[in-house]
């Protein structure tokens, strides 16, 4: 772990740290306040205002791909401290269909979630379902993973679906490729993503949704810079860094953020897509990222791995059979009302309560990590906080 990444130095522009309480987001329904910048890193404390409430940043969005955070009811999601959740355009368009969601109110009423929702554009499925997808300049044709039927997703179609779903924050449709990959394919996908972003921008019809563009470019520093610069010219309300956590090393991700984030406007929210190890979250925050999402808290929870400040706990390990300790002593989540020995028993007995409780614990842990990060930034001690967290996570059990 190269802790020096993300620290200020004299060659880096001070423009990243200017406080501008007046948002440049033109949409009257949204605004972003930059409240404080950490003294030693590029970590930012902000607040994103939406029609359905404010989101304190940095923030982590639990993933509810199909309109549900897997294995956790929406009330429990709220109790973890989550402020905003994510759902997926491609999957909801397949089942139950955006028209059905709209007929049932919209995604908020469908899920029972009254706070802000962000929908992914379906661009990640260009990567994850690559064997089922054919990409052209017009868009992507998929073979449904449900029944094999043909589905065409274009920038315009992605926007139309997201408008029907009624999410508050919506993402431009982009072309995601695996890493490593050939320079030719990465460059082609990058500039296609820029052209698709412009088509998304032209095709939106609602003024109560905030559209974010996605910076691509693989691990090529110059391509990342150029892509960010071209998207900034299009003046989006927010910007995401995409195409990472798809096979590269963590240090490569951090170096990519080091060259990409400085190209993004100070007064717009910045979102690192699909990145979710606790180590990566604090490293992203140190580089000026405001928003994160990942399936890791729930996916790992379902597979008996719990995140803690002293490293991950693998509950199936025999060492926990008679362990009377909770996962974490001061954690308020329902899992921590029980012993590690009991939680291990649930997994060994294949009781569904084990994955549910551990998923809730992990979601709670991630929200606490975000709250602690916000407090550390406000106190101008995020560099110390980051080092303390890394030191604790190395004590794996």
- What integer best gives the mean pLDDT of the chain? 92
Q: pLDDT tens-digit profile of 369-387? A: 999 999 999 999 999 999 9
Long-range contacts of 302-307, Cβ-Cβ distance < 8 Å, separation of 24 or more: 302/70, 302/71, 302/355, 302/358, 302/359, 303/355, 304/344, 304/347, 304/354, 304/355, 304/358, 305/358, 306/335, 306/343, 306/358, 306/361, 306/362, 306/365, 307/278, 307/361, 307/362, 307/365, 307/366
Per annotation, catalytic residue among 168, 258, 293, 383: 293
Work out the burial of residue 222: count CB atoms within 10 Å of its CB; fewer than 13 is exposed, 13-18 middle, 19 or more buried.
Answer: exposed
pTM score of the predicted model? 0.93
Instruction: Give the tokens for residue 279.
Output: 């180590």
Per annotation, catalytic residue among 38, 120, 168, 309: 120
* Mean of pLDDT values over 284-304: 98
CATH of domain 58-294: 3.20.20.105
Please tell me the total number of residues recorded for the chain in this structure: 397
Q: pLDDT tens-digit profile of 191-221? A: 999 999 999 999 999 999 999 999 999 999 9
Instruction: Give the tokens for residue 80.
Output: 């973890």
DSSP state of 338: S
Residue 14 bears catalytic tag: no
With H, G, I as helix, E, B as strand and everything else as coil, classify residue 362.
helix
Q: pLDDT tens-digit profile of 13-63? A: 444 444 443 334 457 889 999 999 999 999 999 999 999 999 999 999 999
Delimit the CATH 3.20.20.105 region(s) of the chain: 58-294
Residue of 47, 46, 43 lying closest to 380 (CA atoms): 43
């Amino acid at each position: 772990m190269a802790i020096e990444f993300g620290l200020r130095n004299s060659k880096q522009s001070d423009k990243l740290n200017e406080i501008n309480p007046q948002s440049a987001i033109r949409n009257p329904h949204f605004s972003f306040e930059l409240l404080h910048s950490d003294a030693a890193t590029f970590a930012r404390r902000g607040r994103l205002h939406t029609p359905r409430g404010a989101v304190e940043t940095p923030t982590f969005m639990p993933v509810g791909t199909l309109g549900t955070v897997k294995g956790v009811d929406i009330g429990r999601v709220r109790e973890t401290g989550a402020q905003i959740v994510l759902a997926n355009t491609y999957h909801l368009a397949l089942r139950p269909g955006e028209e059905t969601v709209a007929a049932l109110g919209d995604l908020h009423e469908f899920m029972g979630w009254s706070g802000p929702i962000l929908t992914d554009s379906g661009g990640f499925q260009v990567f994850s379902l690559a064997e089922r997808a054919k990409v052209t300049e017009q868009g992507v044709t998929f073979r449904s993973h449900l029944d094999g039927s043909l589905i065409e997703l274009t920038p315009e179609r992605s926007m139309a679906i997201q408008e029907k779903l009624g999410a508050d924050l919506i993402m431009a449709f982009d072309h995601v490729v695996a890493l490593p990959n050939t320079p030719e394919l990465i460059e082609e996908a990058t500039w296609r993503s820029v052209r698709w972003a412009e088509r998304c921008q032209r095709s939106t019809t609602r003024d109560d949704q905030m559209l974010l563009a996605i910076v691509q470019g693989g691990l090529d520093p110059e391509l990342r810079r150029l892509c960010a610069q071209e998207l900034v010219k299009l003046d989006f309300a927010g910007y995401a860094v995409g195409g990472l956590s798809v096979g590269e090393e963590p240090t490569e991700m951090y170096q990519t953020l080091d060259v990409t984030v400085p190209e993004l406007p100070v007064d717009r929210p910045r979102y690192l897509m699909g990145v979710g190890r606790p180590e990566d979250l604090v490293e992203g925050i140190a580089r000026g990222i405001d928003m994160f999402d990942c399936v890791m808290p729930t996916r790992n929870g379902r597979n008996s791995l719990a995140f803690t400040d002293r490293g991950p706990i693998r509950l199936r390990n025999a060492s926990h059979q008679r362990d009377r300790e909770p996962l974490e002593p001061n954690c308020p989540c329902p899992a921590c009302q029980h012993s590690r020995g009991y939680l291990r028993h649930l997994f060994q007995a294949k009781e569904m309560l084990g994955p549910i409780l551990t998923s809730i614990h992990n979601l709670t842990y991630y929200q606490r990590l975000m709250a602690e990060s916000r407090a550390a930034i406000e106190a101008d001690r995020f560099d110390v906080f980051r080092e303390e967290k890394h030191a604790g996570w190395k004590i794996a059990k």
